[in-house]
Amino acid sequence: MSATFLGMPGNFPKNAAEAVQNSQLRFNLRKATHTIRDKRAAVVGELPDWQELRAAGKAIKDHTLRHLDRYLLQLEEAVTRAGGTVHWARDAAEANRIVADLVKATGETEVVKVKSMATQEIGLNEALAKEGVTAYETDLAELIVQLGDDFPSHILVPAIHRNRSEIREIFLREMPDAPAGLSDDPAALAEAARLHLRERFLRSKVAISGANFMIAETGTLVVLESEGNGRMCLTLPRTLISVVGIEKLLPTWRDLEVFLQLLPRSSTGERMNPYTSMWTGSVEGQDFHLVLLDNGRTGVLADEVGRQALRCIRCSACLNVCPVYERAGGHAYGSVYPGPIGAILTPQLRGMSSDLDASLPFASSLCGACYDVCPVAIDIPEVLVDLRAKAPHGAAERAGMKAAGWVLNSERRLGAAQRLASRMRRFVPKRRLPGPLAAWTDTRDVPDIPEESFRDWWERNERA
Amino acid sequence: MSAREEILARIRTAVAGARDDGPADAGIPRGYRAVRQVDDLVELFAERVRDYRAIVHVVPEDDLTAALARVAGGRRLVLPEGLPGGWAPGPGHADPYTADGVLTACAVAVAETGTIVLDHGPGQGTRAETLVPDHHVCVVRAAQIVGGVPEAVARLDPSRPLTWISGPSATSDIELNRVEGVHGPRTLEVVIAT
Ligand code: SF4
């Protein structure tokens, strides 16, 4: 990954410590991750052949990666035959250059975008802005993030850290056409976004997307989504530019029978997501460009242990089960790829020269929950251990304190302090713990001390 | 060196030491179910589509014309080219941007996931025609319903543009509350002809 800055500077323990203090964020994250986790478990449980699908998914991806050169050439030929144009980009700067030139050639100064992690990774919106082109995000969550001048914090629910009243405020402040009496009801907020974006969809001549899969055999691109903004972007504008990482390839059309089962169930916990669009080359007279992006991926491919991270289909199941992610939040990872997958992908794509990136392999308790849910069986703990050994020693130790343990322990430490305080409730001023604990609680959000007995409090909290 | 040549060279260097598993994908274990054993495809499909909060009608083929007239209920519907004779509940409305809805056929339907797939062939409209109107009425013939995803993938032609639809458009982006209807049709109505 090139030097595009995303998320926070600093290092994982420091970022995580700040996030752990933010109780709104923690509440949102916990609710979201647990809800999706339960939905996923239910729909995965419906399929008696889940483990066979998982084994096939892993094997298909490994086979593709082993012959990536051949399959990319096959894809290029198929896309070209179907009237599309294929471009190759070594790094972020090259990809941004290609896209900016394509947009400028159309004479347009505005583009609509459908959620794409690859374009976030290369900082495309910022690069286009420098060239006088405004990129509008159309995914509801991305819109919230963009209008709030903020960073995504979850692969699937990027605005997971915002609650409804914050979203209402952002809309009222940043959307000129937001109705004056806008309430914070999610349906009303979604309706405001629908109206705001509809006119833009109809007006836009150029769209930029990513893709979940590319089929080498047929040249077909596949985008899974929920809201219909993807269909709008992929269908209505005259020019479509898709920026896709080279690892998103599948050899054959038939392989979709595996991944169209693995991805929706792992991702949103649905039997199928509302909309999936598939297109091959230029469709209905559209001008289609495919930008194949390396940006560090071939470096990951060269690592015998780490290359399995390239199997990732960005479902976010590993985030939703991760005890560290649940407490630290997505921003602490300082990259578009948060959670367990981010902890192994970011240091490999960007290298471990910064404190942040060197601290990421330590952002885990190695509990293995991520591996169990991963639909392509990436052994995330194995890669973490391998990366820890490779992390530059000084930087890692400075960042150190074994980030994950620290995050988990800070909650335990907080809990212990509260339990002590509840017994001495009458003597304790609100929001500040006595004696040696004072300095520690000075910067932390200590909840009101409960009146109930120590025993009741303990039981309730252990169960929660 | 061009970017293309350089990326291909980097890949070849990166995988040079890896075991070559052969050119074809013969080594891939495909022990998952290729076919679903489903007793009643129509019943399962209807149940799964309803789970997405779509409206479902099951009608005998002989009754289809009358049923579509009832469903249309005077709405101004886009009627795509190639719609089977007798389906049209009235004169078509050409402009999807001002229409109340759209009536289409489909290419295949998946019982297990409650999915309809359009290949935008005859009677299925262009991609925009099935996206812009707020109400999508889709006719599924019982023989078009397959059990699971592998059977659907096998029936489809990848050279066609394909739209897989599982319920109305939805978002859970605000505190994970599911809201139906963002940019796609807010109402999906599926008429199954048996
Ligand atoms: S690593 Fe596995 S579980 Fe995590 S996002 Fe990627 S595919 Fe999903």
Ligand 1, atom 6, residue with closest C-alpha: A312
Q: What is the pLDDT of residues A258-287, one digit of tens each?
A: 999 999 999 989 999 999 999 999 998 999
The mean pLDDT of A200-222, rounded to a whole number, is 96
pLDDT surpassing 70 at residue A464: no
User: Which of B19 and A234 is assigned the larger pLDDT?
Assistant: A234
pLDDT surpassing 80 at residue A399: no
CB-CB contact of A151 with A145 (8 Å): yes
Q: Give the model's pLDDT for residue A331.
A: 74
User: Which of A23 and B112 is assigned the larger pLDDT?
Assistant: B112
Q: Give the model's pLDDT for residue A75.
A: 98
Q: How many Å apart are CA A110 and CA A203, to the nearest integer?
A: 9
Q: Give the model's pLDDT for residue A267.
A: 92
The mean pLDDT of A344-360, rounded to a whole number, is 84
Closest CA to A245 of A78, A65, A416, A114: A65
Q: Give the model's pLDDT for residue A255.
A: 97
pLDDT band, residue A455 (cuts 50/70/90)? very low
Which H, E and C letters describe chain A, residue by residue? CCCCCCCCCCCHHHHHHHHHHCHHHHHHHHHHHHHHHHHHHHHHHCCCCHHHHHHHHHHHHHHHHHCHHHHHHHHHHHHHHCCCEEEEECCHHHHHHHHHHHHHHHCCCEEEECCCHHHHHCCHHHHHHHCCCEEEECCHHHHHHHHCCCCCCCCCCCCCCCCHHHHHHHHHHHCCCCCCCCCCCHHHHHHHHHHHHHHHHHHCCEEEECCCEEECCCCEEEEEECCCHHHHHHHCCCEEEEEEEHHHEECCHHHHHHHHHHHHHHHCCCCCCCEEEEEECCCCCCEEEEEEECCCHHHHHCCCCHHHHHHCCCCCHHHHHCHHHHHHCCHHHCCCCCHHHHHHHHHHHHCCCCHHHHHHHHCCCCCCHHHHHCCCCCCHHHHHHHHHHHCCHHHHHHHCCCHHHHHHHHHHHHHHHHHHHHHCHHHCCCCCCCHHHHHHHHCCCCCCCCCCCHHHHHHHHHHC
Residue A91: C-alpha distances to residues A249, A303, A310, A349, B89 (Å): 18, 19, 16, 11, 55
**pLDDT digit string (tens) for chain B, length 194 residues:** 899 999 999 999 999 988 777 766 678 999 999 999 999 999 999 999 999 999 999 999 999 999 999 999 989 999 999 999 889 998 999 999 999 999 999 999 999 999 999 999 999 999 999 999 999 999 999 999 999 999 999 999 999 999 999 998 888 777 777 787 788 899 999 999 99
pLDDT surpassing 90 at residue A371: yes
Looking at residue B142, the DSSP 8-state letter turns out to be G
CB contacts under 8 A, B 54-93 vs A, are none
Written as six digits, the tokens of B59 are 């009608």
Interface contacts A/B by beta carbons within 8 Å = 228
Site to substitute for ligand 1 among A315, A319, A348, most atoms within 8 A of C-beta? A315
ipTM of the complex: 0.96
Mutation target among B11, B118, B159 for the A interface, most CBs of A within 10 A: B11
Q: How many Å apart are CA A14 and CA A410, to the nearest integer?
A: 12
Q: How many Å apart are CA B160 and CA B83, to the nearest integer?
A: 18
What residue ranges do the domains of chain A occupy?
12-43+298-390, 47-295, 395-463
CB-CB contact of A276 with A228 (8 Å): no
User: Which of A184 and B148 is assigned the larger pLDDT?
Assistant: B148
Q: Which atom of ligand 1 is nearest to the CA of A373?
A: 3
pLDDT band, residue A341 (cuts 50/70/90)? very high
Quote the ligand 1 centre to A336 CA distance (angstroms): 14
Q: What is the pLDDT of residues A321-332, one digit of tens each?
A: 998 888 877 777
Quote the ligand 1 centre to A387 CA distance (angstroms): 18
Q: What is the mean pLDDT of chain A?
A: 82
pTM: 0.87
Determine which of A81-85, A192-196, A429-433, B54-58 has the lowest per-residue pLDDT on average.
Answer: A429-433
Written as six digits, the tokens of A199 are 């006119």
Q: What is the pLDDT of residues A428-450, one digit of tens each?
A: 333 333 333 333 333 333 334 33
Q: Give the model's pLDDT for residue B155.
A: 97
Which is it for strands A275-280 and A220-225: parallel, antiparallel or unpaired?
Answer: antiparallel
Q: Which CATH class is domain A47-295?
A: alpha beta
Residues of B in contact with A91 (CB under 8 A): none
Q: Give the model's pLDDT for residue A441.
A: 34
CB contacts under 8 A, A 278-307 vs B, are 278-280, 283-284, 292, 294, 298-299, 301-302, 304, 307
The mean pLDDT of A161-175, rounded to a whole number, is 86
Residues of B in contact with A73 (CB under 8 A): 8
Written as six digits, the tokens of B30 are 């495909």
Q: Is the CB of A317 under 6 A from ligand 1?
A: yes
pLDDT surpassing 60 at residue A92: yes
Please check whether residue B6 touches A, CB under 8 A: yes
Residue B62, min C-alpha distance to chain A (Å): 30
Q: Give the model's pLDDT for residue A151.
A: 73
Residues of B in contact with A194 (CB under 8 A): 181-183
User: Which of A276 and A197 is assigned the larger pLDDT?
Assistant: A276
Residue A318: C-alpha distances to residues A12, A351, A369, B93 (Å): 18, 22, 7, 47
CB-CB contact of A128 with A111 (8 Å): yes
Q: Is the CB of A44 under 6 A from ligand 1?
A: no
Question: CA A247, A248, A253 angle in degrees (round to 5)?
Answer: 125
Residue B150, min C-alpha distance to chain A (Å): 5
CB-CB contact of B145 with B42 (8 Å): yes
Nearest-Cα residue of chain B relative to residue A284: B126
CB-CB contact of A129 with A111 (8 Å): no
The mean pLDDT of A354-366, rounded to a whole number, is 82
Residue A141, min C-alpha distance to chain B (Å): 6
Q: How many Å apart are CA A355 and CA A358, to the nearest integer?
A: 5
User: Which of B107 and A17 is assigned the larger pLDDT?
Assistant: B107
pLDDT surpassing 50 at residue A401: no
**DSSP bridge partners of A289:** A85, A241
Q: Is the CB of A376 under 6 A from ligand 1?
A: yes
The mean pLDDT of A335-346, rounded to a whole number, is 87
CA B42 to chain centre: 16
pLDDT surpassing 70 at residue A145: yes
Pick the CATH number of B34-193 from 3.40.50.10420, 1.10.10.10, 3.50.30.50, 3.40.605.10: 3.40.50.10420
pLDDT surpassing 80 at residue A156: no
Looking at residue B19, the DSSP 8-state letter turns out to be P
User: Which of A237 and A366 is assigned the larger pLDDT?
Assistant: A237
Residues of A in contact with B174 (CB under 8 A): 140, 159, 164, 167, 186, 189-190
Q: What is the pLDDT of residues B126-142, one digit of tens each?
A: 999 999 999 999 999 99
Closest CA to A422 of A383, A392, A461: A461
| Cβ-defined contact of A56 to B32 (cutoff 8 Å) | yes
- Burial (CB < 10 A; 0-12, 13-18, 19+), residue B73, is exposed
Neighbours of A428 (CB within 10 A): 17
pLDDT surpassing 60 at residue A452: no
Q: How many Å apart are CA B102 and CA B79, to the nearest integer?
A: 6
Q: What is the pLDDT of residues A39-56, one digit of tens each?
A: 999 999 999 999 999 999
- Burial (CB < 10 A; 0-12, 13-18, 19+), residue B78, is buried
Written as six digits, the tokens of B112 are 């297990």
Residues of B in contact with A60 (CB under 8 A): 25, 28
